[in-house]
Every structure is written in C-alpha cells, then in structure tokens.
Amino acid sequence: MYKAKTLFFTAPKKLEVCEATLPPLKADEVLVKTVCSTISAGTEMLVYRNQFPQLMDAHDSMSSELKYPLAYGYACVGRVKEMGKEVNREWKDRLVFAFHPHASSFILHPSSLIPIPNSLSPENACFLPNMETAVNLVQDGAPILGERVLILGQGIVGLLTASLLSEFPLEDLAVVDNFELRRNALHVAGQRSMVESLALQDLRRSTFDLVYELTGSPSALNDAIEHTTFSGRVVIGSWYGQKRAEIDLGGAFHRSRIRLVSSQVSTIAPELSGRWDKPRRFDVAWKALERIQPEKWITHRFSIDEAEKAYQLLDEHPQETIQVVLDYEI
C-alpha cells in the first residue's frame, strides 16, 4: 500500500498537506510517483487568495466546483511505478504528465496520462500546460508577416508566448512587465535580440497591430487598448477571477475598430477545430518545449512539505520569482 501527500487549499491563504493511504489499484489503473509539479502564479494564486469565481474549472480533466477545501493544480510529472493487471506493460517506469493536483503520488487510468518525449527532462515537461496555452494564444492572435506585436506580462505564459512569437517574421516584438527579473528573462535566456523589453511609459500609443494582455490585471486592458492601432486585435489570455476594473471603451476604442479576443486553452477556436484537435496541439507544444527549454526560468524549488512558503513567496514577493516548482525528490 502506498501513502500520498496531497496539497489542499483550506481557506484564503491557508494550506494543508494531508497524507493518506491510496486505495488498491484497479485492474485498469496505474500508480504514478510524482517527480515535480509547477505552481501557476496566475490561476493558483486566485485560488490561494479566494479570488476565484463560483463556476466550473476551466481545465476539462479537473472540472469541479471551486470551493474550500480544494486540492488544486494541473501540472504534475512523474513515473509509473505500479500497474493494474490489464494495463500494457509498456507503461512501467514511463515518464508521464498529468493534469492533476499537487500530490506525491496518485492513481489514474492511463487514458488520463500523457507520455513525455524522451528528449525532455521532467522539469521541462512540467511546462506543458503553459506551453499549450502559449500555442493557443499565438493561434488566436494569428500574427501576420511584418506585424508589430506587444505582450503585456512576462510571467511564464508571457515568456513562452514571446518565445514562440520570436520565431515569426515580425517587424517588431516588444514585451512589458512591472518586474525587472521577468522583463529581462528572455534576454538572460539568450532569445533573439528582436525582442524589446520596455517599460510601459516608453511605448508610443496606438502603435501595435496585435497586443496580448497576459498580466492577470484587468486594468491592463486599458493599456492594451491604448497601444493598439486602428483595426488591431487585443488577445486577452488572463483569467481575472473576481477582480474587476473600469475599462475605457469610449472615444479611441469606439472609433478604432479594435477587436477584443477572449483566448482560453480548454477549447480549440471554432475556425480551427475542423483541422486541429487537442492531440495535434499537444504535439506542437512538445516540440516547442524541446526548442525553448523553459526549465531555465525555474527560480525556486520547494518540497511539498514547504508548499506554504512557496505560495507566500508568490503572494508577497512575486518580483523575486518567475517559475516556482514543487520538487518531490528533495
């Protein structure tokens, strides 16, 4: 019998790590021992701060009402250690990804697991959900040859989106973030010099054809609109939860024919769904992870027993972090 430690959000800014014995494996199930899991500085912090709306979760594999106590998280990488008698033996010791809450071990049907390419480390593979989101954002924005593109927000999703867009033949690609560490992360990582890291006040208004709002702050929508040119697009990838802000949709916005695009990774855009599905998008995301190697942006590692420190760091000192990881082998 295996025991597993699982992280629960029990109240605003309160966590508890509970240890329990896992049930016996069914014939068609596998036991996965977790290697690492990434903490989302966006969605998970809304849960941590009790800022999530009372609705169904956006991730299909985890749909449930969001309320305390809540086991949450969606980026676990581990190895298959035990298998039911009906499971193909090829799963044994396979490195796999699962959209599963933070836990030291868990039991799932193999259909809920995604095999990880041999070319990727567990740490790089942990970024799969964020890379899939970045791929979806690029597809929804549909950048055109020679366009000028701005990304507001250089958290992990912003960094991955900028990395993908740096591969496009754009006229200009600029990124903005309030935190210097994140604003300069692309250059520290050696990305193309075409990416300009700027302060918001240094940008000229109504300049960009395509603007991504990835800050998590609804007030940043005003900044996005201000810097979008006539007939441009603003792709909104942030999930604001219960956060509200006044958005100026008068004057310039009304005359400029700016299009606001809601982008969310749980579905495929209708105009692409005849040719694209989730497996195809995952394949693109895996290949992008191989090229970009985002584990270089891991700034902090904690054991699951230290999870409270990890969330406190993200809540109180986000300027010191890029990606925070729970490491189950510490």
User: Given this model, what pLDDT does residue 193 score?
Assistant: 55
Give 3-116+293-327's CATH code, choosing from 2.60.20.30, 3.90.180.10, 3.90.280.10, 3.40.50.720: 3.90.180.10
pLDDT at 106: 98
Omega prior to 12 cis, within 30 of 0: no
pLDDT interval class at 58 (50, 70, 90): very low
Residues in CB range of 55: below 8 A, 6 or more apart: 65, 66
- pLDDT for position 330: 83
Domain residue ranges of the chain, discontinuous segments joined by +: 3-116+293-327, 130-262
Contact present, 5 and 104 (Cβ < 8 Å): yes
Sign of CA dihedral 232, 236, 242, 245: negative
Task: Say what the pLDDT of residue 2 is.
Answer: 86
Query: What pLDDT sits at residue 327?
Result: 98
Task: Please identify which residue in the block is written with the tokens 């420190």.
Answer: 309
Give the per-residue pLDDT at 63: 44
Residue 56 pLDDT grade (very low, low, confident, very high; cuts 50, 70, 90): very low
pTM of the model: 0.93
Q: What is the pLDDT of residue 245?
A: 82
Instruction: For residue range 213-269, list pLDDT tens digits in order.
Output: 999 999 999 999 999 999 999 999 998 888 888 888 887 888 999 999 999 999 999
Q: Quick one: pLDDT at residue 297?
A: 97
| pLDDT tier, 164 (very low <50, low <70, confident <90, very high otherwise) | very high
pLDDT band at 190 (very low <50, low <70, confident <90, very high): low
Percentage of the chain beyond pLDDT 90 is: 82
Could you confirm whether domain 130-262 is CATH 3.40.50.720?
yes
